[in-house]
Amino acid sequence: MPVWRKKRVACVAAIALLLLVVRLVPFAFPIRAADLVQDSQAVEFTDRNGLPLGTLLARDQEHTAAVRLAHVSPLFAEAIVAAEDAHFYQHGPVDYRALARASYEALRAHHFVSGGSTIAMQLARMISAAPSTVPGKLIQIWTAWRISAGMSRAQILEAYLNRLPMGGNLYGVEAASRTYYGVAASDLDLAQASALAAIPNDPVGLDPYAHAKALKVRQAYVLERMVKSGFITRERAERARAEQLLLQTRGRGIVAAPHYLFWLGTRLPPHTARVRTTIDRPLQQFVEAQVRDVIGTLRSRNVHAAAAIVIDNRTGEVLAYTGSPDYFATAQQGSNDGVQALRQPGSTLKPFLYELALENRTIEPNTILADVPARYAIPGANLYSPVDYSDTFQGPVRVRIALADSLNVPAVRVLERVGVEPFLERLHRLGFSHLTHDAEYYGLGLTLGGGEVSLWELAHAYATIARRGVALPPLTWFSDNSASASNAVVRVGNATVWELVTDMIDDEHARAQAFGVSSALDMPFAAAVKTGTSSDFRDTWTVGFTSDYTVGVWVGNFNGDPMRRLSGVAGAAPLWNRIMLHLHEQRDPTPFAKPAGMVSRRICAQTGYKPTLDCEAVVSEYLWPDELSSYERPQRAAALPHEYDEWMALQHRTIAVADRFRVVAPRDGDAYLVARADVGRRPLEFQAAALPGQSVEWRLNGRSIGSGQSFFWPMRPGHFTIAATSAGRTDRVSFDVEEGTIARKLRPGFSIVGP
């Protein structure tokens, strides 16, 4: 044999041996079915009464659900094989003829026209993330050989069907079947199966919601391939092609409480398949509807998000949980969870501060606090000068007024006396786990919302107030006929003082100066409530409770954009009001208990002690029995201490510039409720401060409505801006009127009366 021929034979033999070795090596490193097991199990959720809430296909944001091949409709398996790899059962892991054809087409077009990939190669790409390049194809082939070496065809097909990209963040036939059609993969009919088998070819361009026509075209192709492969007759294909496919809504199989389900799903024990939650579905759906409706009315104020939570005070069970107006509204960042998001709480922490101060007797219920200009030295920063929402100061105020009217300066004075560190420790005991910095970091601004907390933490802390200081762990789902949570019960603070604080934030007369009469905070039954507004109007809060329920509401924007001069009473309170009224439609809650062991006495509003003849206003307040002896020693209203000097000067300056024209009532940002029967009948008084003899012209939303320093306007629902003009000067304020149920409750003994 010639030498050149021997060399050729040797070269061919060497190449053949190399190919043989390369082909046999994968058998030494097989990928077995056990290596590709997916720990993803669909979890079905129901409400407390067994009503379905939805099914999560995974416990994170990537929806998938692994099922056995026996639990997949044979029609879908046949459809996907016909569409993606018609000779799957005949060839090995690589279809060399199809690969050669794809390579030839790619050379002619200078890019990949068709992949030529078998199901084994596609599975290889899924688990190796190999790119669609020549090196990537080689990796796919190598991995496909390893898969074929360790798995049967049925195992390969099962792993493939559970990893198919099915649009958005859906993966696998089970996830797609439940999401799009609301049925298990085992129950797919021919029309559904062929449509789903079309999606993996282009998961974006064949989205069933956005591109239904394109999907129909691809479905026809899949049905034609099934006919050619002998899986179905042409008659069946025509019937399936003509069948109209009914999709579920975009809720992806979730009926209610999507934020709650995803939040709870990450906290369930492994292999949990069915969960009975504490959610009340009718209540949940009501809350979701109200969140959407209220946000719709506030969009003109640059408000786009809201969240709400309802807690059963007796058990700590979460009855409703809404994280945003629409979880599935991607453009509006709807999947953000406003219940768990960390935001600045504004003034909503003040009740906890006053309870601590009253408990340790830093202040007494009849203490007079100074709401006057104050300045505090902050290390390494400018002087800290707290101001109230109204940018005014009230001078001497009672503790009840300071808390109910949410005055900032008195709260900072109280915190200075209590100490930031003890207050921070108390907040930690109440469950505010996200306040992780030290006391020096937060400083005196902590009581005004200087830290970040979640609505979840805030609502549960207020439920602790409702339980007179008994802190229960949150209960979210039932396991073994009991709610899943630790049975540990912690007592925080003093029960009587919590009752006193409850009485203060339930006092609609005490908060009338700041929030007006018949505001969204006023209920026809006993309800304690507090609002909060963070700096620059980025967050508004309303959190409150009855003896039965605690309701927490946050309104704002997930991107942190400020709202247009929207306070807690105008932003979050209307939603809180609607939920509270709904909760007590059938039965009024039990009135709050009076502070046990305390006694009610008439005091002088200026001194805090027993009224004298020169007292200008007398009110009632609860006192500790051991304070009665000092209370009985009457104190005449005397000159104010020196800390009031600057405030007094401001009052004189205000009198000196009385010619400054302004609208006195309503105030900017006020919110009012009007009963349905009183719409267009109940008057709201507009008042302006003008020089004597000067006329005032009033315009409402740009339309002239009348004149006079005082003008009565019949209220109707809506958002309004009034402009008052006098002697060439104009002042404007905005306010809201909402239609609602109003029933006044009487609180004898706590209204201001004569001496």
pLDDT of residue 713: 86
Quote the CA–CA distance of 415 and 514 in Å, as a whole number: 21
Judge whether 638 lies within some domain: no
The pair of structure tokens assigned to 101 is 């054809």
For residue 249, give the DSSP letter.
P
Quote the CA–CA distance of 579 and 283 in Å, as a whole number: 9
Instruction: Examine the domain organization and report whether 155 and 79 are in the same domain.
Output: yes
Q: Once rounded to an integer, what is the mean pLDDT over residues 252-280?
A: 86
Quote the CA–CA distance of 510 and 512 in Å, as a whole number: 6
Judge whether 84 lies within some domain: yes
Q: Once rounded to an integer, what is the mean pLDDT over residues 223-237?
A: 94
Instruction: Examine the domain organization and report whether 10 and 150 are in the same domain.
Output: no
Instruction: Examine the domain organization and report whether 90 and 238 are in the same domain.
Output: yes
Tokens 């267009």, residue located: 680
Instruction: Examine the domain organization and report whether 77 and 199 are in the same domain.
Output: yes
Quote the CA–CA distance of 523 and 527 in Å, as a whole number: 6
Instruction: Examine the domain organization and report whether 164 and 145 are in the same domain.
Output: yes
pLDDT at 486 > cutoff 80: no
Quote the CA–CA distance of 373 and 167 in Å, as a whole number: 60
Judge whether 236 lies within some domain: yes
Judge whether 157 lies within some domain: yes
Judge whether 392 lies within some domain: no
Can you say whether the dihedral through the CA atoms of 319, 323, 325, 326 is positive or negative? negative
pLDDT at 752 > cutoff 80: no
The pair of structure tokens assigned to 605 is 């509003």
Tokens 């934020």, residue located: 259
CATH of the domain at 722: 2.60.40.10
Structurally, the chain folds into a number of domains equal to 3
Q: Which of 751, 652, 599, 736 is nearest to 298 (CA)?
A: 736
Q: What angle do CA 194, 200, 203 make, to 5 degrees?
A: 115
| C-alpha distance from residue 178 to each of 17, 181, 195 (Å) | 50, 6, 14
Instruction: Examine the domain organization and report whether 193 and 105 are in the same domain.
Output: yes
Tell me the residue type at 208. P
Judge whether 77 lies within some domain: yes
CB atoms within 10 A of CB 23: 12
pLDDT at 565 > cutoff 50: yes
pLDDT at 642 > cutoff 80: no
Q: Which of 343-352, 451-460, 585-594, 696-705 has the lowest mean pLDDT?
A: 696-705
Q: Which of 45, 456, 50, 458 is nearest to 258 (CA)?
A: 45
Instruction: Examine the domain organization and report whether 5 and 153 are in the same domain.
Output: no
User: What does the mean pLDDT of the chain come to?
Assistant: 83
pLDDT of residue 481: 45
pLDDT of residue 98: 61
Instruction: Examine the domain organization and report whether 130 and 224 are in the same domain.
Output: yes
The pair of structure tokens assigned to 318 is 């979460």
pLDDT of residue 233: 94
CB atoms within 10 A of CB 13: 10
The pair of structure tokens assigned to 679 is 């719409």
Quote the CA–CA distance of 379 and 577 in Å, as a whole number: 42
Instruction: Examine the domain organization and report whether 75 and 19 are in the same domain.
Output: no
The pair of structure tokens assigned to 600 is 């009610």
Instruction: Determine the structural domain holding residue 671 and report its residue range.
Output: 657-739
pTM of the model: 0.70
pLDDT at 38 > cutoff 70: no
Q: Which of 254, 307, 364, 436 is nearest to 631 (CA)?
A: 364
- Burial group, residue 434, by CB count within 10 angstroms (0-12, 13-18, 19+): middle
Q: Once rounded to an integer, what is the mean pLDDT over residues 196-208?
A: 92
Q: What are 549's strand-pairing partners? A: 312
The pair of structure tokens assigned to 560 is 């942190």
Q: Which of 126-130, 440-444, 718-722 has the lowest mean pLDDT?
A: 126-130
The string of pLDDT tens digits covering residues 597-616 is 999 999 988 888 888 877 87
Instruction: Examine the domain organization and report whether 194 and 113 are in the same domain.
Output: yes
pLDDT of residue 574: 93
- Burial group, residue 337, by CB count within 10 angstroms (0-12, 13-18, 19+): buried
Tokens 């975009």, residue located: 250
Instruction: Examine the domain organization and report whether 18 and 100 are in the same domain.
Output: no
Instruction: Examine the domain organization and report whether 16 and 84 are in the same domain.
Output: no
CATH of the domain at 75: 1.10.3810.10
The string of pLDDT tens digits covering residues 235-255 is 999 999 999 988 877 656 688
